[in-house]
Amino acid sequence: MAFFTSEYECKLDAKGRLVLPSKIKANLPEASANGLVLRKGFEPHLIVYPLTEYKKIHSKISALSEFNPQQRMLKRNFFRDIAQADLDGTGRFLIPKPMIMHSQLERTAIVIGMGNIIEIWNPEVYKDYLINDQEEYSALAQKYLDS
């Protein structure tokens, strides 16, 4: 199982390639060492899956019924927002232009380890999705982590 934590500031080159931070790359499962799956997030960011994690979600979405209109809509939208990416010898991967536009990426990106997945954000947009109030943070932790 993948184990990603922390946040890293990274640069995108002129072609839209991003170098995966070495601590993130080191935690990729062997099966995903050169291949990743990118998905547009529900917020304006990207989600990066190691192949092992993507396969879990892929099987759930693939199992949805083509005869149910809502499930078909979810399936269609999920798969249209997916791209495969291969790491080159220097640990870079190309982010497709539609994904750069969706996530509003420019020259700098914030890469965040989220446990079993990785998120990529525009630093300015990312700020709007953080909790700045410690009481709110504490209340959410209590709500979702207290058993």
Residues 64 and 73: beta-carbon distance below 8 Å: no
Residues 25 and 91: beta-carbon distance below 8 Å: yes
Rounded-to-integer distance, Cα 32 and Cα 74, Å:
26
Rounded-to-integer distance, Cα 94 and Cα 92, Å:
7
Pairing of strands 17-19, 7-11: unpaired
The series of mean pLDDT values per 10 residues for the chain, 147 residues long, is 89 95 87 81 96 93 96 95 92 95 97 96 96 93 88
Polymer length of the chain: 147
* Residue 146: per-residue pLDDT: 85
Q: Determine if the pTM surpasses 0.75.
A: yes
Pairing of strands 82-86, 7-11: unpaired
Task: Find, among 8, 33, 14, 25, the residue nearest to 120 by Cα.
Answer: 8
Rounded-to-integer distance, Cα 101 and Cα 130, Å:
21
Helix axes 51-62, 69-80, angle to 10 degrees: 150
Domain 7-145, what fold?
Chemotaxis protein chec (3.40.1550)
pLDDT 10s digits, 72-108: 999 999 999 999 999 988 889 999 999 999 999 999 9
Rounded-to-integer distance, Cα 121 and Cα 48, Å:
11
Domain edges within the chain:
7-145
